[in-house]
Amino acid sequence: MRKNKIRILHVAQAAGGVDCYIRMLLKYLDKEKFENILVCSQDFHEEDYRGLADSFEQVEMTRDIGGHDLKAIKKIRVLIKKYNPDIVYAHSSKAGAIARVADIGLKNRCVYNPHGWAFNMRCSAKKKAMYTAIEKVAAPFCNKIICISDAEKQSALDNKICKEDKLQVIFNGVDIEAYENGVHGAVKRREMNIPEDAFVVGMVGRMSPQKAPDVFTKMAKQVKEKVPNAHFIIVGNGSQEAEIRKYAEENGFSDSLYITGWVDNPMSYVELFDVACLLSRWEGFGLALPEYMMASKPIVASRVDAIPNLVRDGENGLLVEVDDVIGASEAVLRIYQEDGLKDRLVTQGLEDVHSRFNARRVSEEHGKLFERL
């Protein structure tokens, strides 16, 4: 088994999007060429990796920084020595720091994917400086850093994380085949008390400052004033839910706003949308965008960070400025009112998701990188 295969040991702490990314990556990596071991935190589930990972190991890792990180470093170093991989692949900033320290002095190659730089989050200047310093110190201890968008690569260069030749852009992707072969129409409008002829505007994302659900809800108020049969869906949960519900209640459209909470089938709700929004204040990639394209939905998104790498204004979506409630409502209304615009945006979006954001392409590009290292 070992003889002709490249053995990759993946290290991951944060579940959620990283979990989905790794599963998608392993699904389409050539099993004749690559053997995959996953070393992950307790937030991952072994049953999700049956048939994907050749071995599955769990190590206690948490998001916060503390003495427990030293234990994690020691345990991961033991596992690297045990499996003797050709490549250690560290996913996200916390696992990236732990894995690269654990791998110091060992003979394998090392790849790091931050899945969006921590220093690009909206946080205090002190935290931003700390995250940047950690990345600069750790950068020499890997052979390649994968950036999930051109904007992320430029951000690394602007912050002098490493030299350009260490960076490689591999755009994120979505599993088009799984979606096309999956179950559709699982959620019905009537189950949510939404009329069949309603104009439905939705967003997928945590109700947290990054994803700007407050902007979405203020936009919803303005759209509702112009389109009385408009309804709104937020797919997700989060710290701002009470604030969002209160705003809708105070402004008289709470019966037109549906919040799903956390769901494991967000695409079933996206299928109900007439317009799909991502009004983020910062975004390393914005995986919801190719998911919207895949589901044939016209997009309204914010012009920030990586989003213009995916959405070209007027071609496969409409872009608005960050925190621009009026601009967002005008863009949504334009799709509602302008003949042919929705179809043009959707057609180009479908073409782009198949050519640029296909999960198979993500795995193929990784495979080529792994073979070169």
**349 lies in which domain range?**
178-356
List, in order, residues 6 or more apart from 179 with CB less than 8 Å away. Answer: 267, 294, 295
Please state, rounded to an integer, the average pLDDT across all residues of the chain.
94
Distance CA 71, CA 117 (A): 25
**Same domain flag for 83 and 138:** yes
251 in a structural domain: yes
Domain count along the chain? 2
Q: What is the CATH number of the domain that holds 15?
A: 3.40.50.2000
The pTM of the full predicted model, rounded to 2 decimals, is 0.86
Per-residue pLDDT tens digits for 36-87: 999 999 999 999 999 999 999 999 998 777 778 899 999 999 999 999 999 9
Under 8 Å between Cβ of 212 and 302: yes
28 and 106 together in one domain: yes
Q: What percentage of the chain reaches a pLDDT higher than 90?
A: 87
Examine residue 319 and state whether it is found in any structural domain, yes or no.
yes
What pLDDT score does 75 carry? 97
Q: How far apart are CA 276 and CA 271, in angstroms?
A: 10
Confidence of residue 212 (pLDDT cuts 50, 70, 90): very high
Asked if the structure places residue 1 within a domain, the reply is no
pLDDT of residue 59: 96
- Whether residues 81 and 229 fall in one domain: no
Q: Using pLDDT thresholds of 50, 70 and 90, give the confidence band for residue 4.
A: confident
Q: Are residues 80 and 213 both part of a single domain?
A: no
Residue 312 sits in the same domain as residue 201: yes
In terms of Cβ atoms closer than 10 Å to its own Cβ (0-12, 13-18, 19+), residue 290 is buried
What band does 3 get if pLDDT is binned at 50, 70 and 90?
A: low
Same domain, 163 and 203: no
For 106-121, what is each residue's pLDDT tens digit?
999 999 999 988 888 7
Give domain status of residue 27, yes or no.
yes
Give the separation between CA 170 and CA 149, rounded to whole angstroms. 7
Structural domain includes residue 232: yes
Over the stretch 125-153, which tens digit does the pLDDT of each residue have?
888 898 899 999 999 999 999 999 999 99
Question: Which alpha helices (H) appear in 181-240, and where do they start and end?
Answer: 213-226
How does strand 167-169 pair with strand 144-147?
parallel
**What CA–CA distance (Å, rounded) separates 148 from 153?**
8
What distance in Å separates the CA atoms of residue 266 and residue 206, rounded to the nearest whole number?
Answer: 12
Residue 345 counted as domain residue: yes
pLDDT(1) > 60? no
Band (2; pLDDT cuts 50, 70, 90): very low
Pairing mode, if any, of strands 87-91 and 6-12?
Answer: parallel
Place of tokens 């402004």: 251
